[in-house]
């Protein structure tokens, strides 16, 4: 699809969200949609009645009930990002949690909290206090547009809730939505002063521990000039303490926090979206990227990363491949026998890199929750998604976070430069020369009637041996090879290693078509043109 005429341009005034109406709808609009946990929690907008006070209160009480049943006697870490609905939802959640007597740790001073910080705090607490397990709630719709809100639960393992836990909370929340009188809450002013509400410094513990996962001493010694763009997100006030603690030269190129995100350039579809993997959304940083040895951006909850190397935004798959190759060659403390986690729609160059380093690939459906257990137990060294989200073990092989961490992934780019003298894009270029260059791109289209059901019932085996883009199909499957979990769609592999995958979006009425060609852009174009007919024809 062609980019919107205003893609990459500053957001016009008429595209900014009407904050008074958005907030009024949060408190007064009827709920026209249920609580629905997708790939990472419940998301929606008060404009559409899919994210309002009732949704959040119900989800918070369901969480309180679940953690009590699960025996979580430690604190619940509660954080929120910079979306307008996030602060309102934070207050609603605290009203409910306090009324249920849950000990809640919040960031002192009303500060925003990145997703990886919550994950780190949960893991760190539970390592020290296993008899009083902690968990967390994060109020964020990730990189979604300014009018959206979201809430996600991280159990004691620190990562996104698995399918079973998410379904329990979702079902209980929807039962409460049908009986709002059963929701117990107290006024925010009382909840904030409750004995169970404990303001804590979330910044310093995380900042001081960063040197355990990334070699920041090497970055300091190299004297690299780094540029960081928080994209108005929750990590905006983390970069200066990181620079101070570790003696790094980091310039925060944009310190603005504005819930309309008026400083953003429009994404490829003309929407305001804080997607740090999009060259359109990252246009402002790319413009000044040449002023730094390395520049990087993050989405509002800082679980994604965007790397500007050599003055251009790296393809997320390319950076994942470069990061994995580097880490497997520079982490002698990592355990033998452990593998690398990747989603099945990530680049197959990752498979080739991992095999070249003598490790195994663990391929899963879309969603970081599939990597949580492996990262927690050390059976996975690294887990990464094609959508620019990843995390990895500490240098000694212990767990860092079990949720995506945009801090460690961006600072890793600086470590790569400091220790190899190569920029991340230069490292990837060498990998492409060794393992083959590819053309990778995703196409989104409106979800047509019957397509979702057709993917659920498709006989993938019937496609094997058929032709696509002039090549033979050698494999087709609907369950991920790593864990045999249903992928919610289909992946098809050609005889040269090229592939395509189709799955409906978990958050929008869209069909996503991913494709990677190892035989040039023309093969990619042919694959994407023929794929719908092969699957639905």
- Cβ atoms of residues 39 and 366 within 8 Å: yes
CA distance 167 to 436: 41
Q: For this structure, is 234 an active site residue?
A: no
Share of the chain above pLDDT 90, in %: 95
User: Please, which residues bridge with residue 79 across strands?
Assistant: 138
- Per-residue pLDDT averaged across 78-93, rounded? 98
pLDDT at 1 over 70: no
Nearest 5°: phi and psi at 228?
A: -125, 130
Instruction: Return the higher-pLDDT residue of 180 and 308.
Output: 308
The pLDDT, as a whole number, for residue 39 is: 72
Share of the chain above pLDDT 70, in %: 99
CA distance 417 to 215: 11
The pLDDT, as a whole number, for residue 505 is: 82
pLDDT at 537 over 90: no
Radius of gyration of the chain (CA): 22
User: What would the pLDDT profile of 288-345 be if each residue is shown by its tens digit?
Assistant: 999 999 999 999 999 999 999 999 999 999 999 999 999 999 999 999 999 999 999 9
Q: Residue 224: how many CB atoms within 10 A of its CB?
A: 19
CA distance 252 to 229: 6
User: What would the pLDDT profile of 148-161 be if each residue is shown by its tens digit?
Assistant: 999 999 999 999 99
The pLDDT, as a whole number, for residue 15 is: 95
The pLDDT, as a whole number, for residue 507 is: 64
- Cβ atoms of residues 298 and 406 within 8 Å: yes
Spell out the domains of the chain, with CATH numbers in brackets. 15-201 (3.40.120.10), 206-435 (3.40.120.10), 439-536 (3.30.310.50)
Residue 533 burial by Cβ neighbours in a 10 Å radius (0-12, 13-18, 19+):
exposed
Query: Under 8 Å CB-to-CB from 490, ≥6 apart: which residues?
Result: 455, 458, 460, 476, 477, 478, 501, 502, 503, 535
User: What would the pLDDT profile of 229-259 be if each residue is shown by its tens digit?
Assistant: 999 999 999 999 999 999 999 999 999 999 9
**H or E segment at 390?**
strand 389-392
Which of 142, 348, 517, 519 is the catalytic position? Answer: 142
Query: Under 8 Å CB-to-CB from 168, ≥6 apart: which residues?
Result: 62, 66
Query: Under 8 Å CB-to-CB from 429, ≥6 apart: which residues?
Result: none
Q: Residue 201: how many CB atoms within 10 A of its CB?
A: 12
User: What would the pLDDT profile of 447-489 be if each residue is shown by its tens digit?
Assistant: 888 899 899 899 999 999 999 999 999 999 999 999 999 999 9
The model carries a pTM of: 0.96
Closest to 306 in 3D by CA, of 409, 161, 163 = 409
Average pLDDT value over all residues in the chain: 96
């Amino acid at each position: 699809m062609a980019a919107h005429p205003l893609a990459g341009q500053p957001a016009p005034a008429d595209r900014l969200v009407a904050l008074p109406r958005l907030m009024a709808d949060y408190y007064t609009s009827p709920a026209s949609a249920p609580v629905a946990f997708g790939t990472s929690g419940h998301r929606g907008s008060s404009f559409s009645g899919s994210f309002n006070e009732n949704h959040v209160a119900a989800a918070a009480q369901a969480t309180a009930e679940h953690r009590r049943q699960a025996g979580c006697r430690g604190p619940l870490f509660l954080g929120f990002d910079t979306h307008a609905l996030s602060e309102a939802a934070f207050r609603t959640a605290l009203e409910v949690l306090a009324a249920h007597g849950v000990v809640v740790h919040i960031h002192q001073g009303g500060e925003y909290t990145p997703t990886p910080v919550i994950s780190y705090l949960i893991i760190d607490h539970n390592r020290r206090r296993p008899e009083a397990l902690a968990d967390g709630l994060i109020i964020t719709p990730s990189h979604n547009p300014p009018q959206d809100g979201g809430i996600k639960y991280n159990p004691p393992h620190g990562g996104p809730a698995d399918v079973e836990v998410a379904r329990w909370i979702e079902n209980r929340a929807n039962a409460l939505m049908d009986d709002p009188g059963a929701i117990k809450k107290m006024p925010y002013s009382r909840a904030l002063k409750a004995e169970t509400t404990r303001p804590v410094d979330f910044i310093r513990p995380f900042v001081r521990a960063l040197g355990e996962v990334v070699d920041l001493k090497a970055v300091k010694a190299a004297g690299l000039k780094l540029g960081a763009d928080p994209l108005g997100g929750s990590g905006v006030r983390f970069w200066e303490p990181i620079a101070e603690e570790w003696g790094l030269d980091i310039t925060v190129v944009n310190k603005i926090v504005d819930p309309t995100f008026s400083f953003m350039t429009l994404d490829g579809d003309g929407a305001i979206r804080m997607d740090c993997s999009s060259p359109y959304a990252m246009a402002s940083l790319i413009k000044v990227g040449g002023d730094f040895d390395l520049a990087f951006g993050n989405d509002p909850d800082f679980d994604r990363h965007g790397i500007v190397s050599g003055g251009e935004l790296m393809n997320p798959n390319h950076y994942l491949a470069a990061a994995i190759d580097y880490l497997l060659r520079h982490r002698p403390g990592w355990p033998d026998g452990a593998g690398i986690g990747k989603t099945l729609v990530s680049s197959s160059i990752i498979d080739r890199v991992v095999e070249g380093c003598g490790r195994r690939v663990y391929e899963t459906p879309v969603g970081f929750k599939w990597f949580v257990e492996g990262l927690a137990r050390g059976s996975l060294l690294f887990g990464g998604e094609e959508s620019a989200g990843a995390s990895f073990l500490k240098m000694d092989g212990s767990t860092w976070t079990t949720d995506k961490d945009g801090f460690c992934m961006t600072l890793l780019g600086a470590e790569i430069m400091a220790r190899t003298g190569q920029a991340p894009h230069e490292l990837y270029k060498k990998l492409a020369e060794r393992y083959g260059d590819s053309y990778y791109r995703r196409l989104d289209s409106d979800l047509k009637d019957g397509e979702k059901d057709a993917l659920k019932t498709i006989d993938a085996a019937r496609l094997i041996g058929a032709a696509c883009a002039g090549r033979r199909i050698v494999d087709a499957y609907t369950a991920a090879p790593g864990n045999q979990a249903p992928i919610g769609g289909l992946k098809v592999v050609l005889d040269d290693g090229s592939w395509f995958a189709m799955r409906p979006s978990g958050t929008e009425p869209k069909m996503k078509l991913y494709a990677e060609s190892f035989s040039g852009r023309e093969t990619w174009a042919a694959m994407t043109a023929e794929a719908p007919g092969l699957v639905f024809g």
